[in-house]
Copies of this chain bind each other. A is one copy, B any other.
Amino acid sequence: MIQGKVTGRVWSSKHIGSLPKGALLEVEVAGNRIIAFDPLGCATGEDVLITQGSVAAGHFTHIKAPIDALIIGSIDSK
């Protein structure tokens, strides 16, 4: 997994039909930015753990979701 910090959110009104409802968060990971699906309700500034690829899509059990990046947890602050 990779660890990143939530920096914002994106909205997409024009999208394919299989995109699940839910938040798409911008996450900065080592200077790069990825967009991850957030099933946990994370906030800007939160440190999160992201899984990628087909493993991320596997989270959606009743639909075939086009999601290749998923927030699986929020990192506890030390």
Judging by beta carbons under 8 Å apart, are B76 and A12 in contact? yes
Q: A76 contacts which chain B residues (CB < 8 A)?
A: 10-13
> A16 and B73: CB pair below 8 A?
yes
Select from chain B the residue with minimum beta-carbon distance to A41.
B14
Determine the interface band of chain A, counting residues with CB < 8 A from chain B: 35 or more
Nearest B residue to A13 by beta-carbon distance?
B76
Please state if A10 and B3 are interface contacts (CB–CB under 8 Å): yes
In the complex formed, the residue of B with least CB distance to A42 is B14
Q: Cβ of A3: which chain B residues have Cβ within 8 Å of it?
A: 10, 26, 33, 35
Q: B-contacting residues of A (Cβ < 8 Å)?
A: 1-3, 10-16, 18-19, 24, 26, 30, 32-36, 39-40, 49, 51-59, 61, 64-70, 72-76
